[in-house]
Amino acid sequence: MKDHYEKIGTILALLLPLLFVFRGGYLQEVTGYVYLFLIQGYVAWFLFFKSGQPFFGYSVTMAVGAYGTIVLTEIFGWPILASMFISSVFAPVVGIILFLSTIRARGFYVSMASFLLAILFPKLINALQDITGGRSGLYFSGVTAFIGYKTLYILIIFLTAAVAAFFLWIMGTKTGKILTLISENDRLTQAVGINTLKYKIIAYSIAGFISGLGGAFYVNYTGFISSIDIEVFTTLYIFFIPLIGGSKVFYGPVLGALFVILMPELLVPVERYFRIFFGLIFIVVIVMLPEGLAPNIQKLFRKIHLKKT
């Protein structure tokens, strides 16, 4: 039951920044940005940590959603919502093709293939700069032209909370339980007669769709995208969100997004020394706190609590 409070609490807490709408300005802008990455962080949490699929192409699925939206609207003149939806549907295709073609390989090869795709994709965007704008990027007004910036912000907050709630729900269903089994022991799951291929494709489809949708919202929110935004480091940062925050608990990615995305934003003045500090923290967390920050913060609270009583 206590577990339940934690989950409901996390989702309610995710909605809290709706209050920033009254203040607007920088705080609101940054929060929206962090939330857009939190969506990707939850995708990584679901696909890599909960379903055990060694996928590193989050920036690619996100970029397909983002560029797809722009290209369909601007070049083909589709209505904005339709192009957002269609490009999100198309995003998982990349992941699934990669998954199916590496199906005979195991573990690290699959990680590497998807990681190489994440390196390749921005280079492809550069090479196709006549359409995509390459490094100098594309400007895009998108839905903000119709509904305004604030409404989009509110939508993103709700979308993030909905994505979190959806992943929470799906982990409780039969599909989610089978995915957990697959992540614990793939072969055994197959041996007991479960069609693991089907469930893995389901996992890739869900993750790809949400990641693409997140990308489509991203480009609407920032109004701009270039190949630099989807560099390979983006995929690493996304992967670090649940890893640093704590992959075991549901609110881990929230902590991770605050840490991985918000901190660099706030520490821009000392940016020169920032990467050192960042890398060291990653190493320390991975080596000393393999469960991530969340369980340790929990312990800390419990200690403080015990001292008080």
Partner 1 sequence: MLLNGIITGLIMGGILSLPVLGVAVIYGITGIPNFAIGVIGVLGGFVTWYFLSFNMGVAIVIGIAVCFIIGYIIQRILLTPISERGGDSTLFFIITVSVGFVFEGIIRAIFPRPNISLELPRIGTINLAGVTVEGFKIFALLFALGTLVVIRLLEEHTEIGKSWQATSQNLKLAKLIGINTNRVFSIASGIGCALACVGAIFWGSLYNLQVSTGWDLGFMGFIIAVVGGIGNIWGGIISALIMGMVMSFSGYLLGGEWQSVILYFIVILVLIIAPKGILGSERSL
Which residues would be at the binding site for partner 1 (CB under 8 A)? 54, 101-102, 105, 107-109, 111-113, 115-117, 119-120, 123-124, 126-127, 129, 134, 232, 236, 239, 243, 272-280, 282-283, 286-287
Question: Any idea what DSSP says for residue 57?
Answer: -
Q: CB 217 → partner 1: shortest distance, Å?
A: 27
Q: CB 138 → partner 1: shortest distance, Å?
A: 17
* CB contact set of 59 (below 8 Å; sequence gap of 6+): 118, 121, 122, 230, 231, 232, 234, 235, 238
- Of 207, 20, 243, 215, the C-alpha closest to 125 is 215
- Of 213, 201, 25, 243, the C-alpha closest to 96 is 201
Rounded to whole angstroms, how far apart are CA atoms 57 and 72? 22
- 285 is written with which tokens? 């967390």
Bridge partners of 225, per DSSP, are 138
Rounded to whole angstroms, how far apart are CA atoms 180 and 195? 14
C-beta of 89 vs 119, nearer to partner 1: 119
Q: CB 113 → partner 1: shortest distance, Å?
A: 5
C-beta of 109 vs 146, nearer to partner 1: 109
- Of 50, 248, 80, the C-alpha closest to 167 is 50
- The residue type of 273 is Y
Q: CB 162 → partner 1: shortest distance, Å?
A: 29
Q: CB 271 → partner 1: shortest distance, Å?
A: 8
- Of 127, 85, 124, the C-alpha closest to 220 is 85
Q: CB 82 → partner 1: shortest distance, Å?
A: 30
Torsion of Cα atoms, 122 then 125 then 127 then 132, to 10°? -150
Q: CB 107 → partner 1: shortest distance, Å?
A: 7
C-beta of 106 vs 177, nearer to partner 1: 106
Rounded to whole angstroms, how far apart are CA atoms 48 and 132? 29
- 100 is written with which tokens? 């199916």
C-beta of 29 vs 231, nearer to partner 1: 231
Q: CB 26 → partner 1: shortest distance, Å?
A: 25
C-beta of 218 vs 239, nearer to partner 1: 239
C-beta of 164 vs 261, nearer to partner 1: 261
Is 118:238 a contact under the CB 8 Å cutoff?
A: no
Q: CB 253 → partner 1: shortest distance, Å?
A: 16
List phi, psi (to 5°) of 159.
-60, -45
C-beta of 213 vs 244, nearer to partner 1: 244
Is 126:134 a contact under the CB 8 Å cutoff?
A: yes
C-beta of 56 vs 199, nearer to partner 1: 56
Is 157:18 a contact under the CB 8 Å cutoff?
A: yes
C-beta of 14 vs 225, nearer to partner 1: 225
